[in-house]
Amino acid sequence: MNLRLLLIAAALLGTCLVGMLRLRQALQPPVAAKVHEATLTKDDRAANVTPETSIDPEQLLRTKTCIRCQLSGIDLHGTDLSRANFSYSNLTRSNLSQTKLINATLQGAQLSAASLKAANLQGADLGKANLVGADLSQAQLLNINLSQANLKDATLKQAELRDANLRNASFIQAQMQKASLYGAILINANLKDANLNGADLRYANLQNANLSGANLTNAQLDWAIMPDGTSYQGTTPY
């Protein structure tokens, strides 16, 4: 009799354990696919992307934090990622058009060929970021930090770059027609062959900047500090 009771109790205990295990699995969020070493590109490795970074889009939008993540080709257009931290992440060919990235941190991020058209990056930190061939046309870049960033062949038509920190940034062959660079710091910036037709460079600091081959047709340069340290009017600024 006692043996039979023990067997029944053991069976009931086993059933309970199985039920609890299934419940635990059901409550756990789905595991996102991992990025394996074999799938990383040369650009990914250059960006120090962590090979085993798990990507959960819902968690990404909730926490707004993903450092050194592999996010190449991700579509986040129109979302609010203000104050997000994507430092050193790979966002190559990503869609961030019309996205809010106000005061976001994207330092050292890979954003080559990314779409940031009409995005709001006011106050964001993109120091040392790679934006080669990126589209930032009509983007809000007020007070942004792009120091030492690479924007070669990037499109910044009608972009708002007032008071931006563009020290040592590269804008080689960039399309910057009618961009606002009012009061921007362009010290040591490389603007070789950049198209600045109709750009607003009033009060900008271009000291030691490279303007060789740059198109400054119809550009506004009132009170700008030129590469030789003199103002556009030919006088040394006080």
Residue-range domain boundaries for the chain: 1-30
pTM of the model: 0.77
Q: For residues 169 and 152, what is the distance between their CA atoms, to the nearest angstrom?
A: 9
Summarize the confidence of residues 130-142 as an average pLDDT.
98
pLDDT band at 220 (very low <50, low <70, confident <90, very high): very high
* 33-92 per-position pLDDT tens digit: 333 333 344 544 444 444 435 567 778 889 999 999 999 999 999 999 999 999 999 999
The C-alpha torsion from 87 through 93 and 96 to 101, rounded to 10°, is: 20
pLDDT band at 15 (very low <50, low <70, confident <90, very high): low
* 108-117 per-position pLDDT tens digit: 999 999 999 9
Task: Look up residue 228 and give its two tokens.
Answer: 């030789």
